Structure formats: C-alpha cells, structure tokens
Amino acid sequence: MHDIEIKKIARMAVDVRDRAYAPYSNFKVGACIKGESGAYYTGCNIENASYGLTNCAERTAIFKGVSECEKRFTAIAISGAYDDFPMPCGACRQVMTEFCGPDMPVIVVNRKGDYRVYELGALLPHSFDKSQLK
C-alpha cells in the first residue's frame, strides 16, 4: 500500500471519528475500510448504557460494507483521539478475519496524525476461520 493511499484512508478515518457516539467513555474512534471493489466505508464507535451492546468503529465500517454487498476488504484505518495508537479489540480482529486476508494492512492513527501499519495476521495469529468449520 502506497503512502498516498495510506494517508487517504487515514484521513477518512479521522474525519468520521468526530461522529462517534461515546457519552460514557468519551473514547471516540473512527474507521475506514476499503473494499475489494475500491469503495470505502466509514464507521465510528456507538456506545450504549449497556456496554455489551456498544459497537466499535471497525465493525460499524465492515458491517456497512457488507450491507452494500462488499464481502472482501483490502485495508482498514482506525483513528483515535489520543496520543496512543488505537489497536482493534479482539472482537473486531475476529470480524476482520471473516472478511479480510491475513496480509491486509491495519493502519492505526493517533490524534497527531502519526500512523503505524500492521498485518491482520500479526494482530490475530492462529485465528478461527471458516476453514475450521469443514
């Protein structure tokens, strides 16, 4: 993935971050995922007073893409509003595994705009996937 494309997808994740509904944690996160078709889908975290019903930005973006008939994704950027880099939670990593390859870039962006790039397989090694259901 080229630096220009990384910056584009990262900017989209930053832009959607302010739409987050985070009245309980005030931990706002934005995500942008690129579909195999070339389309981009954004999402933000949406909290609920019953924390278990909260949805992360990454899953919001993926579910939006899937609802638009996208089934494979090639890159994701995740933006947080803090100095630390916002790593995806375990549930999000597992959902990514369902729709993304292990070499998919996962770009994490802090509030300063600094970013790091990881491969999904490195973030969730030995994942449970569809091949184990046979």
Residues belonging to the active site: 58
Q: How far apart are CA 52 and CA 50, in angstroms?
A: 6
For 66-94, letters b (16+ CB in 10 Å) and e give beeebeebbbbbbbbbeeebbebeeebbe
**Cβ(75)–Cβ(34) below 8 Å:** yes
Q: Tell me which DSSP letter residue 67 carries.
A: H
Q: How far apart are CA 6 and CA 65, in angstroms?
A: 19
Instruction: Count the Cβ atoms, other than its own, within 10 Å of residue 40.
Output: 17
